[in-house]
Amino acid sequence: MLRCFVADHQKDWPQHLKMLAFAVRTSVHKSTGFTPFRVVERRNPLTLPSFLCPYPSSPEASQDLKERVDIIQKVRDRLERARERAAHYSNYNQRRRKEEFKPGDWVMIHKNFFAGAKTPEGDSKKLAYLWYGLFEVDRRVGKVAYELVFPEEVRRHLVLYVV
């Protein structure tokens, strides 16, 4: 969450921690319907707008206060967008198909299986393939585990879990 908030100005993130914590504590959580502050203190907190006075002591103080109010509003907006994204992804796996393979089927393997393998010199990891294969399924070992046939040069465990 902090990363989303300070993406533009990454050097001054410690200055924003208190305001970010305040924004989180005063945002209504979807699951409870209350702010964390209200749950703990049994009352609503005093917010910066409640301290605004019509005659600020100096233009700098007035500007600083306006900036703080704007930042807290931005944090609240970004938290709301993050909640919406999380709600979208919570339904993401509901359309997932349960895969089952038979001996003789051909499958591809995600790059994470080869984690720790060195990238050839001059190549970028970010531009490398995500999927490798095709590898033949030799036999089913469990409900979600399969033994694959690998070439001799691949020194990895032959049994993989399918999730």
**In this predicted model, what pLDDT tens digit does every residue of 59-118 receive, in sequence order?**
777 787 787 788 788 888 888 888 888 877 777 666 667 788 999 999 888 877 777 667
Span 38-55, pLDDT tens digits: 888 888 787 766 666 555
Q: What is the DSSP letter of 31?
A: T
Report pLDDT for 7: 55
d(Cα 138, Cα 8) in Å, to the nearest integer?
51
Strands (E), 17-130: 106-110
- Spatial contact of 69 and 48, defined as CB atoms under 8 Å apart: yes
Q: Which two tokens stand for residue 33?
A: 């319907």
Give Cβ neighbours of residue 139 (< 8 Å, ≥ 6 apart): 103, 146, 147
The percent of residues in the chain predicted with pLDDT above 70, rounded, is 75
Q: How confident is the model at residue 17 (pLDDT cuts 50, 70, 90)?
A: confident
More reliable by pLDDT, 142 or 112: 142
Strands (E), the chain: 106-110, 131-140, 145-149, 159-161
